[in-house]
Amino acid sequence: MYEFAVTPAVTQIRRRGVEIAEVSAGSVGAELELERGDRIMRVNGRAVRDYLDFRFQTAGETDVVVDVRKTSGEDWELNIERDEAEDFGLSFEQIVPRQCANECLFCFCKGNPETARPSLFVRDEDVRLSFLYGNYTTLTSITEDEMRRVIDQRLTPQYVSVHATDLEVRAYLLGIDKERADISGKMRRMLDAGIEIHAQVVLCPEINDGEILRRTVDDLAALYPRVSSVAIVPLGLTRYLNDSRLTAVTPEFCRRTIREVTEIQRELRARLGTTFAFLGDEIYLRAGCAVPGRKHYGDYPQIEDGIGMVRSFTNQFDALVRRIDRRTGAVARPSGRAQSNQSGTIMTGTLFAPVLRKHVARITERFGFRLEVVAVENDYFGGDVSVAGLLTGGDFLSAREQVRGQFAVLPRVALKSDEPVMLDGMRFEELREQFDVPVFAMDFSSFAAALESGFANECRDSKPPGSLALAT
Ligand code: SF4
């Protein structure tokens, strides 16, 4: 779930039409004197519920009649002629997500501390967000209107949490009755209409693993290529999500799952020519196994669900080191390695830290630049939460004594996508003030850029900028 995609559910009530958030200078919208705050009510006589409707109803149209409610309360009817490809230059308010009516055993909302940001409690279940951002839905409460919309507006692909094709098990996991749990007809209808589906299984030991998992994968594989992939991700327990019906995922469970699923993947590759069912990176890391190679992931169909991130990171990192090697000749002239007094610390989750440490050691080895990796414990959520994206300001502060060198880097993914704030509500500026060295939030591309420049700016910058200027 992308948090920014669900924020409107707690900050806005849904009103008719869609509100304009911005109008680009010199655009068709600006010429028409549209302004921020105006609402588009109808296009060619058809109601507009959100920006997807606007996009769909104006696509390919050269003559468009747009009904607008101005911020002043006036109603305007605009008759617009434009070139087919001409953009309106309008951006719109975010979509207010629909919420689910399930009571999943493993729902992450139940795993939040009470003080967590309200948007973390939004149980979004929205086919529009599924299409736009890859958010998973269970399809249990999709309405006829939404179904028709997916098909008419070709909101493809859709991301569907299947969990188990055994109805009894699916109903148990979702906390609903079997009739509602049965989505076979809904999936068939989408697939028959040419909507592609990516499926997900949240793997819960002793509930939907073993034979149930095999059957789920087999049933979904029978729908390939219309169902194009399955992500199998492990249950995550926090100290707040401790339902006695759930069994924790252990390294031994991960090893067994890898053995079983590797066998299934082999059969699928022989039969379908693709791995089709992918295990989450976390399963390999917790098992203490290497993640599979590049070919295993194909075109990374489930990367939005974190599947193949470690492989992708490793490949990008290798390419980066080769690029720097070529530029500096570090490999050809080992004695000529850059010697540097510069050093810093990268803070990340305990799961990824060992992988990162291995890669970072190559940097020190080759370029003489010292980077330490600190594995930050997640005390906020507790349990077995170990990924970087769920670390909070308080967690980083607890680990700050371990920081060495002239600066610290923390993962960009630990901040909200549209605002420099962490899951416990701490603002990034607030965190930076409490460190003795400059702190930077980086994703891979900003890290790569910093590495290529020898971290010159980061080391020089004893007075860090107050805003997040780093690439996202
Ligand atoms: S579908 Fe289940 S896991 Fe998702 S938000 Fe609803 S209750 Fe939570």
Q: Between the CA of residue 127 and those of 93, 148, 167, what are the distances in Å? A: 17, 11, 22
Contact 297, 311 (CB under 8 A): yes
What is d(CA 43, CA 63) in angstroms, rounded to the nearest whole number? Answer: 10
pLDDT: which is higher, 116 or 386? 386
Phi, psi of 311 (to 5 degrees): -60, -45
Residue 385 CA to residue 376 CA, distance in Å, equals 11
Three-state secondary structure call for residue 345: strand
Q: Is the pLDDT of residue 401 over 80?
A: yes
Q: Residue 459: its pLDDT value, please?
A: 66
Percentages of the chain per state (helix, strand, coil), in multiples of 5: 40, 15, 45
Asked whether the predicted pLDDT for residue 72 surpasses 70, the reply is yes
Residue 189 CB coordination number (10 Å): 15
What pTM, to 2 d.p., does this model score? 0.88
Instruction: Tell which wins on pLDDT, 384 or 195.
Output: 195
pLDDT confidence bin for 471, thresholds 50/70/90: very low
75 bridge partner residues: 69
Query: Angle 50-52-58 (CA atoms, 0-180°, nearest 5)?
Result: 105
pLDDT at 357: 94
Please indicate whether residue 123, judged by its CB atom, sits closer than 6 Å to ligand 1.
yes
Q: Note whether 390 and 378 are within 8 A (CB).
A: yes
pLDDT digits (tens, 9 = 90+) for 229-241: 999 999 999 999 8
To the nearest 10 degrees (0 to 180), the angle between helices 353-367 and 309-328 is 0
Residue 82 pLDDT level (bands cut at 50, 70, 90): confident
2 pLDDT above the threshold of 70: no
Q: What is the pLDDT of residue 465?
A: 37
Confidence of residue 79 (pLDDT cuts 50, 70, 90): very high
- Interval between CA 366 and ligand 1 midpoint (Å): 47
- The larger pLDDT score, comparing residue 459 to residue 314, is at 314
The pLDDT, as a whole number, for residue 12 is 66
Q: Per-residue confidence at 15, pLDDT binned at 50, 70, 90?
A: confident
Spatial neighbors of 400 by CB under 8 A, at least 6 apart, are 408, 434, 435, 436
For residue 42, the cross-strand partners are 47, 67
Distance in angstroms (rounded) separating the CA atoms of residues 55 and 45: 15
Pocket test for ligand 1, best of 98, 100, 159 (most atoms within 8 A of CB): 100
What is the residue type of 209? D
Q: Is 100 in the pocket of ligand 1 (CB under 6 A)?
A: yes
Most confident range, picked from 207-216, 379-388, 412-421, 463-472: 207-216
Residue with tokens 């600066």: 407
What is the mean pLDDT of the segment spanning 447-468?
Answer: 63
Rg of the chain over all Cα atoms, to the nearest angstrom: 25
pLDDT at 86: 86
pLDDT band at 335 (very low <50, low <70, confident <90, very high): very low
* Cβ of 112 below 6 Å from ligand 1: no
- Closest Cα to atom 3, ligand 1: which residue? 107
Fill in the amino acid letter for 4: F
Rounded distance from Cα 464 to ligand 1 centre (Å): 40
Q: Which atom of ligand 1 is nearest to the CA of 174?
A: 2
32-41, 375-384, 424-433, 456-465: range with lowest mean pLDDT? 456-465
pLDDT value for 464:
42
Above 90 in pLDDT, residue 287? yes
In this prediction, residue 462 carries a pLDDT of: 46
Answer yes or no: is pLDDT of 46 > 50. Answer: yes
- Sheet of 197-203: strands edge to edge? 158-161, 197-203, 227-234, 277-279
More confident residue, 398 or 5: 398
Q: Which two tokens stand for residue 268?
A: 């699928």
CA–centroid distance, 107 to ligand 1, in Å, is 5
Count CA within 13 A, CB hemisphere, residue 387: 20
Question: Residue 230 and residue 279: Cα distance in Å, rounded?
Answer: 9
In contact, 439 and 346? CB cutoff 8 Å: no
- Whether the CB-CB separation of 61 and 44 falls below 8 Å is answered with yes
pLDDT of residue 451: 81
Which amino acid type is present at position 452? E
Q: What is the pLDDT of residue 472?
A: 23
Q: How far is the CA of 119 from the centre of ligand 1 (A)?
A: 14
Q: How high is the pLDDT of residue 470? A: 28
* DSSP 8-state code for residue 372: E
Sort residue 448 into left (φ over 0), alpha (ψ -120 to 50) or beta: alpha
Interatomic CA distance for residues 140 and 100, integer angstroms: 8
Whether residue 88 has pLDDT greater than 80: yes
Q: How far apart are CA 185 and CA 140, in angstroms?
A: 11
Question: Rounded to a whole number, what is the largest CA-CA distance in the chain?
Answer: 75
Q: Using the structure block, give the residue that is written with the tokens 């509602």.
A: 180
Residue with tokens 């028959």: 192
Say what the pLDDT of residue 73 is: 94
pLDDT at 454 over 60: yes
The 10 Å Cβ neighbour count of residue 127 is: 24
Cα distances (angstroms) measured from residue 375 to each of 220, 354, 361:
37, 8, 15
pLDDT tens digits for range 320-331: 888 888 877 655
Residue 233 φ/ψ, nearest 5 degrees: -115, 145
Give me the chain's average pLDDT, please.
Answer: 90
Res 332: pLDDT: 42
